[in-house]
Amino acid sequence: MEYSKNGNEWVLNKQTNFDKRGNMEKEISFGSQERHHIKQIEYQNNKKILEIYCEYFVKHDTCVLRQFKKYE
């Protein structure tokens, strides 16, 4: 987790999750209270097969796909 100081309080900027092998599975960047950027990665046999980038709109509980990459 990554925090920054805003006045007298610490604010969460980024949260990153890893699998047991150390591969990054999900990264959430908290931009504002209205939207966050989410990057999800899927692996098969310890090889990256898919990356998904979406913009999560909190108010509507909706993630809009912005980009994806598929690997062979």
Q: What confidence tens digit (pLDDT) does each residue in 11-62 have?
A: 999 999 999 999 999 999 997 778 999 999 999 999 999 999 999 999 999 9
Selection from 67, 23, 22, 69 nearest residue 43 by Cα: 23
Would you list the domain boundaries of the chain?
A: 2-70
Give the whole-angstrom CA distance, residue 36 versus residue 29: 6
* pTM exceeding the 0.85 threshold for the entire prediction: no
Could you tell me what percentage of the chain is helix, strand and coil, using 3-state DSSP and rounding each to the nearest 5?
A: 0, 70, 30
